[in-house]
Every structure is written in structure tokens, then in C-alpha cells.
Amino acid sequence: MPRKTVIIGGGAAGLGSAGGVKASDPGADVVVYTQFEDVAYSPCGIPYVHGGEIDDFQKLFLAGKQAYVDAGIDVHYETEVTAIDTAAKTVTVAGEGTVSYDNLIIATGFEYADPGVPGGDLGGLYYVKNIRKAMEWDKVIAEAKRAVVVEAGPLGLEMVTALAHRGIETHLIDPNPYALSQMADPDIMAPVEESWRELGVHLHFNTTLEAFLGDDKGQVRAVKTSEGEIPADLVVVATHKTPNNKLAAAAGIKLGSTGGIIVDERMKTSAPNVWAAGDAVEIPHGLAGTPLQGLTGSHAYAQGKTAGANAGGGDRTYRAVYVPWGTPAGKWVIGGASFGEATATALGIPYVKGEAQGISRARYYPGVQPVRVKLLAEPGTLRLIGAQMIGGGEGIKERADFLAQAIRFGFTLHDLSTMENVYSPAIGALNEPIVVAATNGLENAKKG
């Protein structure tokens, strides 16, 4: 008799898990429960449809529902799982009753942190998540004149740029002194903020949300902040991601300090035959060991494949993360790996710094873009521990991927200062910015 794996959640982690199970155990019964009408679209593309860079929500769909049927994955749409019983190895499914499993994978994803202020039930508050809702909200955006984006995290960055591109008077509020302060350094963000101002965006830092204010129809009309009221007919609530851990918590599965489900290297939870993946779990940072939660769709998918492969009887590990990241921000692309100066300082981690302002192609080749690289290394060993970058876009993602591996494998500034690089005028400059930054870092290390 085939073994049955139940998966709760139809996002990247859930579908990665489903594929992982089938890869290890092609005959397995795989059932996926999702609250939503769709699976297999890219939620990460939503801000770019709102911004007009992508012209149609339909383009975000990756595969039709039939593709899952063909792959032997039984997806139950608009279906809620209301409870897990790990002793009985069952889940309770609304409308289906008690369903038993041999293995369970929890891929319940994230929720936006509750802003915790009055007025949360007003109309006009947009939580970006579900593609069907995004299609409806796009019509609201088309009519909106003034918008406030709450919090300058990764989604806030994307939505600020999108709304500005749509010609809306856009205000960003954030309690921190600069944007993306949980990840990026202020010197990396300063040009981004400048480019937002050029787009007409109003930036309100060191500003706390106090309430959403409504009109007599129950629609938002303004946002009340520590620095005064900002009128708005649309508010994008882009608070940070928190793990959607309610089912797991009620089932007695162990949670970590971030609220994420604790998993081992094989994505196994504290409960027998129960695995978890994606935004619902926490994963240790490769260097600092601090738990991280709410990473990217790529992480969720890879974790899902690991959980699924193991649930299906295979043996696969998912290791601690060094978190390459990158995103467009205003007219720039920013990125990095591991942490920057702000986080290192907050964690009490000393560092030597090497910086360089380089270019993406030969100086004289059309389309050349700036590439600024900042490297952080451990004093003494000079091992790379973090990196941040800002540039026109060319090669930021690939450099971030590389630098994350350089951190993982303990490359030093010496190693990076002696690395070879492609030199071909149309695609790369004589001096690779990473090499120059590493060389400058060696100089700084000598000076002590």
C-alpha cells in the first residue's frame, strides 16, 4: 500500500515538498491542502504587476492545475486544515473530517505582523499576498491618489516603487532611521532613498504608526503617526513576516524564539513523522547561529524539497544559511550576503571592512553601470563574514550568490584579492569590484 503524505500549504514550500516526496517515493500518495483558489503562481511578482513592469497577473502563473494532477499530486483548493493530531497521525480538514497520514509536512507560510493599532478593520488596508486579491486591489490602486506604505521592509520597498511608478502620491513610514534597516546598511540605502525622492516619494523615518483613521463609510482616510496625520485612500500594510504557526503550536510542536517551527537539518520537527518548511520554520544563520525566519521563496522551495525528500524515505539535509539577497530598490539594485555593518554591530561582531566603487563593464562600453561592493571580514583570520552591494543591476544577484558561498567556505580577503576575473569590455571590467574591495580591506587590516 502506498504511503500517504499530507502537506498543509500550497506555496513554494508546500509544492517543493510535494515534488520532493514524489522524487523519493514515486508511488506515494501526496495530498496538498491550500486555503486559496490557486497554487503554482509567483506571489513575488505581484508588486511588479502593480508597478506596471509586468503587464498581466496571468503571467505569474507557473503551471495549470492539470500539471499537478498529471504529477500525481492531489491538491485540495480552498480547503482549510483546522487541527493536527500527531499521536493519532491525523489532520482535521474542514468539510472532509479526519484525514490520516503516514507523514505530515507543515508549510503554512507567514502572516504579516499585526500592526496592533486601532482601525485595523477599515476598508482600504491592503495586505499583499494572494493573487486573486491582488487583481482586485490593482483596480483600487488605479483609482488611488494618495497611499501610505507601512514599514520599509523588502515588500515595502517594492510597493513604494510600484505605487510611485503608478503616479500615486506615496508616503513611506517606518520607525527606524532608514529603510530596510533590518538587513541593509545606511550607506547602501542612502542612494535608494535619494532615488525615491526623485520619484516623488515622501519618506517618514523615525515615525511610528499609531492608528488607521476611517471615514463614515468605514474606509481609511488617513494614517495617524507619531509625527502627525498623513491622508491616504490606500494603505499597504507591509509589516514584517511572522510565521503562521497556529496549527503547529496547538499540536504541541516545538517553536523557536522567532515563533518559527524548530526543525533539524532534515527539516524534521519535534513531532514524529512531522516535517516543516518555508516561512513557518526558523533556520540558523551559518556564522552567527542566530535563528532566521521569513527568508525567500527560493529558500522555501529548497527547504520543501528537503522535507519532502526525507518524508518520502530519502536522505537530504538543508544546511545553515548565509542568505544571499538582492532586490530592486528605487532606481538601484541592492544586495548582499550574510550581514552588513548594522547587523554585525548589533550582534557585537567585530569586523574589518573593504569597500570599492567599481563598474559592471569596461568604462567606455555602453550600458556600463556602477557596482559598489562592501566586504566585512573577521579581524585576524580575515575570513569573509558579510557583504553588501548597490549597483545599476548588472551582476548584483550573481555576486551575492558567490559571496554567500565565499562566506560558507571561509574565503579570506587574501583569497578574494587574488581571484581571477573575466575581462571583456561588453560584460566585465578590467578590475572586478569584489577584488578591489578585498584588496582595500587588506590595506585596512594592516592599518589595524
Tell me the C-alpha distance between 402 and 80, whole Å. 40
**12 interacts with a copy of itself by CB under 8 A:** yes
CA distance to 57, 234, 249, 318, per residue, from 219 (Å): 26, 9, 34, 45
| Rounded least distance, CB 337 to a copy of itself, Å | 9
Footprint (CB under 8 A) of a copy of itself, residues 62-101: 62
Residue in 100, 129, 224 with CA at minimum distance from that of residue 171: 224
Pattern 245-284, binding to a copy of itself, x per CB under 8 A?
Answer: ----------------------------------------
Q: Select the residue interacting with a copy of itself from 35, 165, 401, 444 (CB under 8 A).
A: 401
Q: Is 345 in the site for a copy of itself (CB under 8 A)?
A: no
Q: Which is nearer to a copy of itself, 56 or 143 (CB)?
A: 56
Say whether residue 301 binds a copy of itself (CB under 8 A).
yes
Q: Binder to a copy of itself among 280, 399, 413, 440 (CB under 8 A)? A: 399
Instruction: Report CA-CA distances (Å) from 363 to 121, 369, 387, 396, 420.
Output: 54, 9, 24, 17, 19
Which residue type does 118 have?
P
Nearer to a copy of itself, 122 or 400 (CB): 400
Q: How far is the CB of 351 from a copy of itself (least distance, A)?
A: 21
Q: Of 254 and 423, which has the nearer Cβ to a copy of itself? A: 423
Which residues are bridge partners to 243 per DSSP?
110
Q: Is 136 in the site for a copy of itself (CB under 8 A)?
A: no
* Smallest distance, a copy of itself to C-beta of residue 106, A: 21
The residue whose grid cell reads 562566506 is 407
> The dihedral of CA 228, 229, 234, 240: what is its sign?
positive
Neighbouring C-beta atoms of residue 29, cutoff 10 Å: 17
Residue appearing with cell numbers 499583499: 128
Q: For residues 194 and 409, which CB has a smaller minimum distance to a copy of itself in the complex?
A: 409
Angle at 300 between CA 294 and CA 301, to 5 degrees: 165
Q: Is residue 374 part of the contact set for a copy of itself (CB under 8 A)?
A: no
Question: On the CB side of 429, how many CA atoms lie within 13 Å of its CA?
Answer: 22
Sites for a copy of itself among residues 412-431 (CB under 8 A): 415, 418-428, 430-431
Choose among 68, 203, 74, 70: nearest CA to 148: 203
**DSSP letters spanning 373-407:** EEEEE-TTT-BEEEEEEEESSTTHHHHHHHHHHHH
Query: In this structure, are residues 277 and 13 in contact, taking their beta carbons and an 8 Å threshold?
Result: yes
Size of the site for a copy of itself (CB under 8 A): 66
For position 307 contacting a copy of itself by CB under 8 A, the verdict is no
Cα 14–Cα 18–Cα 22 angle in degrees, nearest 5: 165
Q: Counting contacts by CB under 8 A, is residue 192 touching a copy of itself? A: no
Which of 27, 37, 53, 346 forms a contact with a copy of itself (CB under 8 A)? 53
Q: Does 191 bind a copy of itself (CB under 8 A)?
A: no
- The mark string for 96-135 relative to a copy of itself (x by CB under 8 A, - otherwise) is ----------------------------------------
* Residues in contact with 190: Cβ distance below 8 Å, sequence separation at least 6, in sequence order: 178
Per-residue x/- marks for a copy of itself, 24-43, CB under 8 A? ------------------x-
- How many residues are there in the chain? 448
Task: Name the residue nearer to a copy of itself (CB basis): 250 or 430.
Answer: 430
Binding residues for a copy of itself (CB under 8 A): 12, 42, 44-45, 48, 53-54, 59-60, 62, 296-299, 301-302, 317-319, 321-328, 333, 335, 362-366, 393-402, 404-406, 408-409, 411, 415, 418-428, 430-432, 434
